[in-house]
Structure 1
Amino acid sequence: MDITKFRKKLERYLKGTANETESAIVEAWYKSYQDAEEAEIGSENKETVKNAIRQKIHKTTTTPVIKLKWRNYSVAAGLLLVSGIALFFIKNRGQATSEDIYTTLQTKAGEVKQIVLPDSSVMWVNSLSKVRIPAAFNGSIRNILLDDGEVFLKVKHNDAKPFRVNTHTLQVQVLGTSFNVKAYASIKHTSVAVATGKVAVSTAGKRLSFLTPGQELVFDEKTKAFKQNNIDISATQGWKDGETYLTQANFDELSLIVKNMFGLKLKAASKAVEQYQFTLRLKRNMPADDALKIISLIHNTHFRREGDEVVLY
């Protein structure tokens, strides 16, 4: 934890000027020690503990940071600050806190997985995806981490505990709805599409938009710009049922789909082929050569297959 940055978040939180993301971080931190308090401290001391944590927060936000000469001293000072607060609520050294413990789920080419999350929400994970899932949602926000790939979620409604999907660039937050998040690193943009309910999309603590059913937001990771479109949501989530729809997709997007569905690396033989756009529907259970023939027909091209590599020319 960066102590200086966290101290500033605490200060803004107490002043009421923290943004949504900062408030969630502070509240999740505070909640973790609240849970420890419930388990370890009797009800007669409850108010005393609450006052103590407020005093410690106040002390953390008002005490100047002393810059020490040696790096290892700075690290030690940071650890002592965090440890001192934590030990106030945890009597026995080494006792577990209520922080979420994540498990990584990865899918292979041609593989789509459906899982039930700890809150009974349902998540579909597309091919060649990597997502981190907690064993239990212990904090004030139900968090999952989409490191790479695509997921579709049907989130169980909970007014008291928002649900958030975190990608490298976006935070997607809901109370209870169904939506799709696509964040493959190879295509350099992240998209969010809403099937039901309302979804808030933010980046670096800044709200970009609220999306409603049939709307999609596409965020460009290079330019940090975004656009919002009206879409056919059934096409966006078709992949979980074995069908993928592409509409004016560029070559990189097509290559990603071919790799996901068939485990093949699609390459362009020329710059001209790289500039083509593709509109088509592919089924996961169709033979790879049939899919490649369909792709070739769109621009009257040919393909050459060498092992797991395919050259379009």
Structure 2
Amino acid sequence: MKEKEIKKLLNKFNTGKCSPGELEMLKTLMQELEQDNDIPIQTHRLKEQIWEKIENDLNGDQKLRRLNTAWLKVAAVLLVTTVAGIFFSRLLKKPDNEAVQIAYQTITAPRGEMQEIVLPDSTVVHLNAASTIKFPVAFNGKKRELFLLEGEAYFEVRHDAKRPFLVHTGRVTTQVLGTTFNIKFYKDLPDLQVFVNSGKVEIHDQAHTLGMYTPQQLLTYNKLKESFVRGNISDDHLLSWMHDDLILDNVSFREIAVYLENRYNVNFKYTGKKDTRQRYSVRFSNKLTIRQVVDILQLIDGRKYQLKGNNLTIK
């Protein structure tokens, strides 16, 4: 997290304008301080007071907002200096194995096929069809990092409090210690999505903190605008691709096409006008053939479909 972002977060905290997600991020910064033994005792005392106020704010106690917060401004200065110092010293510190070349392995689940991968730390990754991940052959450093280059994956991360687990997807990084979550990152779709199934997940892009996410919460990140929306999901439809039925709620036709192209290894071709505004909610059994799926699409979409080999033409 950049120093500018830390200052902005603390300033919002001082004025009582932090959202619940931002308060969670501030708690994460406080936990960083817990791991540093060189913090002056005065900062520790101020930190304890700030921690108490964060907990009260998260619990909805508004009484503290009416108190004199002059001491918070002093605390903020100390925290910015201390936290920024910790972060930047870690960035500047050369790793012990800097000269060691990291060897990576890249695995792609081809169209029409899902794969299950066990990483070097025993984390399990379920790869959807036409998805690619890149990861080190061994996690030797202080972090476990990998890249979801394309597609969708469900992660069952083995807990390791000393080594956070990071998934890089374009500009966005998802960080956990041990949890289960799903990432959807298709280059043909405008949005990246992270859905948390269990545990806590911290997400940020190259310039901003996107918050802490807990079970049944969904991040939808627009890759072009670099904007995001936090949502709560009451069902597990976002994980249906791993089960008997594929359930897509309120999605564009392009998203339906991406899933079906990858699942059935077909190519959608448009000879008529593309419908970019219509939204659909569909459910497809994994036991259906592509011809049965085409019949369903014609009924709900109203356009004519013609299947020849692996090419599906929409008129």
TM-score > 0.5 by shorter chain: yes
Q: 1:46 maps to which residue? A: none
Whichever residue aligns with residue 30 of structure 1, its letter is: P
Q: How does 1:91-240 map to 2 (within 5 A)?
A: 97=100, 100-232=102-234, 234-240=236-242
CA distance in structure 1 between the aligned counterparts of 2:95 and 2:207, rounded to whole angstroms: 19
CA distance in structure 2 between the aligned counterparts of 1:294 and 1:250, rounded to whole angstroms: 16
Aligned partners of 1:100 and 1:139 also within 8 Å: no
CA drift of 1:268 comes to 3.9
Aligned partners of 1:117 and 1:123 also within 8 Å: yes
CA drift of 1:195 comes to 0.2
Taking a change above 3 Å as real, the CA distance of residues 23 and 233 of structure 1, as seen in their structure-2 partners, is farther
Whichever residue aligns with residue 128 of structure 1, its letter is: A
Q: 1:17 maps to which residue? A: 84
1:112-133, Cα deviation, whole Å (9 max, x unpaired): 1011111111110111011102
CA distance in structure 2 between the aligned counterparts of 1:245 and 1:24, rounded to whole angstroms: 44
1:30-76, Cα deviation, whole Å (9 max, x unpaired): 2425xxxxxxxxxxxxxxxxxxxxxxxxxxxxxxxxxxxxxxxxxxx
Aligned partners of 1:193 and 1:233 also within 8 Å: no
Aligned partners of 1:24 and 1:140 also within 8 Å: no
Taking a change above 3 Å as real, the CA distance of residues 272 and 138 of structure 1, as seen in their structure-2 partners, is closer
Aligned partners of 1:115 and 1:123 also within 8 Å: yes
Whichever residue aligns with residue 305 of structure 1, its letter is: L
Aligned partners of 1:24 and 1:141 also within 8 Å: no
Whichever residue aligns with residue 223 of structure 1, its letter is: K
Match of 1:32 among 93, 97, 108: 97
Q: How does 1:62-77 map to 2 (within 5 A)?
A: none
Q: 1:257 maps to which residue? A: 259
* Identical counterparts, % of pairs: 27
CA drift of 1:285 comes to 3.5
CA distance in structure 2 between the aligned counterparts of 1:25 and 1:135, rounded to whole angstroms: 24
Q: 2:38 maps to which residue? A: none
Aligned partners of 1:156 and 1:177 also within 8 Å: yes
1:128-155, Cα deviation, whole Å (9 max, x unpaired): 0111021111111101111111110011
Whichever residue aligns with residue 119 of structure 1, its letter is: D
SS at match of 2:188: helix
Taking a change above 3 Å as real, the CA distance of residues 263 and 229 of structure 1, as seen in their structure-2 partners, is same
CA distance in structure 2 between the aligned counterparts of 1:129 and 1:242, rounded to whole angstroms: 19
CA distance in structure 2 between the aligned counterparts of 1:167 and 1:301, rounded to whole angstroms: 35
CA distance in structure 2 between the aligned counterparts of 1:18 and 1:253, rounded to whole angstroms: 44
Q: 2:293 maps to which residue? A: 291
Taking a change above 3 Å as real, the CA distance of residues 18 and 195 of structure 1, as seen in their structure-2 partners, is farther
Count of aligned positions: 235
TM-score, scaled to structure 1? 0.69
Unaligned runs of 5+ in 1: 1-13, 34-85, 87-96
1:244-267, Cα deviation, whole Å (9 max, x unpaired): 211111121111011111111223
Q: 1:71 maps to which residue? A: none
Aligned partners of 1:273 and 1:312 also within 8 Å: no
CA distance in structure 2 between the aligned counterparts of 1:153 and 1:165, rounded to whole angstroms: 10
SS at match of 1:187: coil
CA distance in structure 2 between the aligned counterparts of 1:205 and 1:18, rounded to whole angstroms: 19
Aligned partners of 1:263 and 1:308 also within 8 Å: yes
CA distance in structure 2 between the aligned counterparts of 1:102 and 1:217, rounded to whole angstroms: 28
CA drift of 1:164 comes to 0.5
CA distance in structure 2 between the aligned counterparts of 1:270 and 1:23, rounded to whole angstroms: 58
Whichever residue aligns with residue 103 of structure 2, its letter is: I
Taking a change above 3 Å as real, the CA distance of residues 18 and 268 of structure 1, as seen in their structure-2 partners, is farther
Which 4+ stretches in 1 moved above 6 angstroms?
Answer: none
